[in-house]
Amino acid sequence: MYIVGNYFTAVVFCMITMLCWGSWGNTQKLASRSWRYELFYWDYVIGMVLFALLLGLTMGSAGDAGRPFLADLGQAAGASVGWVVLGGVIFNASNILLSASVSLAGMAVAFPLGVGIALVLGVIINYVGAPSGNPLVLFLGVAFIVLAIVCNGIASGCVQHGEESRRNNRKGLLLAVVAGVLMSLFYRFVVMGMDIADFHHPAAGMLTPYSAVFVFSLGVLVSNLLFNTLVMRWPFVGAPVGYGTYFKGSLPTHLVGMLGGAVWCLGTAFSYIASGEAGPAISYALGQGAPMVAAVWGVFIWKEFKGATPLVNRLLALMFLLFIGGLGLIIVAGN
């Protein structure tokens, strides 16, 4: 399998993770023109599973280093698989809530709040579980991210007009907070099922990045039968939707959702691959710079803050600067 050989390459992989995690929401925005997010999410999960399998059969099976993808799956211990599946279940619960938040509050609000909270809590959890990097610089970077989240929240509250808009925004913010707390937990469980100390000679029974992301995606798929069915029956907004509606969707609409899952899966796989060199805390933290990417899409492409006051524009500019500064400190913390 392909293995990252140095810290610089690991950082590049983490940057790709950040771009992927911050950009998949665009596919939901595209699909939402004619497609409920609950239906989009089924395509998203299917795309995730298929792309994880593709990565395993290509990058995960190339070269002589480590264990090939299929052999790694075959030797995995039940406990390792269980930890990774649990991570997938927790992630799926959080991501469904994040998708609902995007549909209510927009990308430029939901991602910085939800994923920003996940970054802060996740860095702490992953650092305690597997310390790596300079803690002072690392947590200073996290503090910058917290300030960026605060700026985004203030800016969001300034642009809501009308009682229904405010009500949906409040509901979206609440869902983003819950999603962020849950999302901060999943990565640590996945790492518990992997041998991040040595991808070249992994311990027997442990998973490596490519098998882990595939098992993870299966955990998401299985749990989706429960979670998304409940959300379809009792949606956060709008009328209930049945499975019959899903099969009436057009091929392009289904493909857009699958593309979203594939983009997210690529970012996740690269984060796991990079964790061997960068360590779980730094790998996770850099990937969770995704809110800045999502905010760029929301502000400049989807015009979610169109017509904002000068104060709001200054808050958004400060948010971007704080995110960039925080990410820079996190990168330095690993050297």
**Residue 257 to residue 241: CA distance in whole angstroms:** 17
Q: What is each CA distance from 29 to 21, 99, 172, in whole angstroms?
A: 14, 10, 15
Can you tell me whether residue 194 is helix, strand or coil? strand
**Residue 165 to residue 110: CA distance in whole angstroms:** 15
Domain ranges of the chain: 7-334
- pLDDT in 10s for each residue of the chain, 335 residues: 999 988 889 989 988 998 998 898 899 888 887 888 899 999 999 999 999 999 999 999 998 888 999 999 999 999 999 999 999 999 999 989 988 888 787 776 777 788 778 878 877 887 887 787 788 998 898 889 888 878 877 887 676 566 666 777 778 888 989 998 998 888 889 989 998 888 889 999 999 999 999 999 999 999 999 999 999 999 887 899 999 999 999 999 999 999 999 999 999 999 889 888 887 777 777 776 777 787 788 888 888 777 778 988 899 899 889 988 987 888 788 66
Buried/exposed 313-327: b ≥16 CB within 10 Å, e otherwise: eebbebbbebbebbb
Going by the DSSP 8-state scheme, the letter that residue 61 receives in this structure is G
Closest CA to 164 of 153, 172, 152: 172
Dihedrals φ, ψ of 186, to 5°?
Answer: -65, -40
Token pair belonging to 204: 């027997």
Closest CA to 112 of 289, 256, 332: 289
Token pair belonging to 70: 């299929």
Can you tell me whether residue 302 is helix, strand or coil? coil
User: What spatial distance separates the first Cα and last Cα of the chain, rounded to whole Å?
Assistant: 26
